[in-house]
Amino acid sequence: MPQVKIIAKNFMDMVSSLPAIKLDMLYRNQFICEAILRSLPPLAKKYVLQMLYIDAPVTSKSLQEWVLADGSSKHKVAVDRLIQLRVFEVIDRKKETAYKLNLTFQTSLRKHLIYGGTLPREPMPPNVIARLPTSEELDAYALEQWECFLLQLISSGQAERSSSFSSSMMRIFQRGLLRQRDKEAARLTESGFQFLLMDTNAQLWYIIREYITNSEEQGVDQADLIAFLLELSFHTTGEAYNLDTLTDDQAVMIKDLADLGLVKLQKGRKDSWFIPTKLATNLSVSLADTTSRKQGFVVVETNFRMYSYSSSKLHTEILRLFSRVEYQLPNLIVGAMTKESLYNAFENGITADQIVTFLQQNAHPRVAEKVPSVPENVTDQIRLWESDLKRVEMTPSHFYDEFPSRDVFEAASDFARMHSGLLWEDAKKMRMVVKAEIHMLMREHLRGQK
């Protein structure tokens, strides 16, 4: 079963896969170095900052002395991550290994800490631009765009307005989240169902990873797009930036980011500009903090009933993935998790752990502080119902009987056993069941026995 958890790897895995030359080009940008620093595990950050003004290599033994005795596993994770991102350069000596900070990364981060950084574009002066949206209006716009995007994924008929998503965005849907057969409407894959239960940060970085991969296949430089995205996270929410400052590739990307709600596009008499939303300016933060989430809305009772305090159509559709929605008021969705609704979710590829995690992460503030936030009898039963489906395993097979002689039966039994295809046999009545994958071989073998 394909798991979104696997394909939605950390965005920095994409950065670490870049060639050394491309990485050095990225590390010339001070803001990208800060974004990389933010993404690192706590112990890795400590190593970078302690070695920032050390020009000589630091031995492996010396590095381990900076860690408590019980931190060996975290030490290994930190060092591996720094090596993957080429922030650490490994120097092999005769006696022991030593580490040194990447010179380009080290120089850029030093300058950034001492002098601060200057973005490649400044906000436009107020006298040039028209009225900018308020913070509340911008948040509402970002939420509306993101929810419309996800509703489009669930079903094109669910979106409240016609789809305006570019072909690049639609191709991302086709990359594992949707499947479409001839003359049939597109349907969610197992990964697509799982994707909808992920938190917003994980969803956003999954889409961005796929977008960059898709753009690279179209001949766009992967490193340039990564640099632009990480730079964008250091812009100021609500400020206007001139579109004329963007390259051709960035101008195409900014329109796709507007579809996602990361930026809002506006046009004046002479100039056009983009306005970053919190989805964009929190990009580099979400790399380091995937636990941050918006306020929850779900209350689960011990009788499996759910009360969701939300007016979002998206929330309604997500809850339908694993529960039965009974009725909906302007700001309240009432439903229940039943054996049938959960079985349907399991058959679509959603796991019990994903459902439980979704309910815990989106627990209403009134219950979020309780331990547990979702009743134990509910979480236990969800997992038990999932295990029920795993008790019986279906194996395509063929049944053989009426063998002409015991010698033929025993030869056939030995042949099936030798090919690891014998599932069951009754030697007394000369009957057996073999896997379908060796059926043709068995037929040829039996013909040779006649």
Q: Mean pLDDT, to the nearest integer, of 62-73?
A: 88
Q: How many helices (DSSP H) and strands (DSSP E) are in the chain?
A: 23, 15
**Per residue in 373-431, pLDDT tens?**
999 999 999 999 999 887 767 788 999 998 988 989 998 999 999 888 999 999 999 99
Place of tokens 């060639």: 19
> E strand or H helix at 336, and its extent?
strand 332-336
Rg value, the chain, Cα: 28
**Per residue in 93-152, pLDDT tens?**
677 899 999 999 999 999 999 988 778 788 998 877 878 899 999 999 999 998 888 888
Question: Average model confidence (pLDDT) for the chain?
Answer: 86
Domains, the chain: 7-115 (1.10.10.10), 135-288 (no CATH), 298-389 (no CATH), 397-449 (3.30.70.2610)
* 248 Cβ contact partners less than 8 Å away, ≥ 6 residues apart: none
pLDDT at 200: 82
Helix, strand, coil percentages, rounded to 5, for the chain: 50, 15, 35
Task: Identify the CA nearest to 347 among candidates 197, 198, 188, 202.
Answer: 188
- Residue 117: other Cβ atoms inside 10 A: 16
**Per residue in 347-388, pLDDT tens?**
888 999 999 999 999 999 999 988 899 999 999 999 999 998
pLDDT at 257: 92
Task: Identify the CA nearest to 247 among candidates 265, 264, 225, 230.
Answer: 225
Distance from C-alpha of 409 to C-alpha of 389, rounded to nearest angstrom: 35
Q: Mean pLDDT, to the nearest integer, of 40-52?
A: 94
What does pTM read for this prediction? 0.73
Q: Is the pLDDT of residue 89 over 60?
A: yes
Distance from C-alpha of 338 to C-alpha of 385, rounded to nearest angstrom: 10
pLDDT at 18: 86
Cα separation values, 136 from 132, 133, 216, 239, 296, Å: 11, 8, 35, 14, 19
* 273 Cβ contact partners less than 8 Å away, ≥ 6 residues apart: 124, 129, 240, 241, 242, 243, 265, 266, 267
83, with CB counted inside 10 A (0-12, 13-18, 19+), is: middle
Q: Is the pLDDT of residue 3 over 60?
A: no
Percent of the chain with pLDDT over 70: 89
* 341 Cβ contact partners less than 8 Å away, ≥ 6 residues apart: 322, 323, 324
Phi, psi of 276 (to 5 degrees): -65, 140
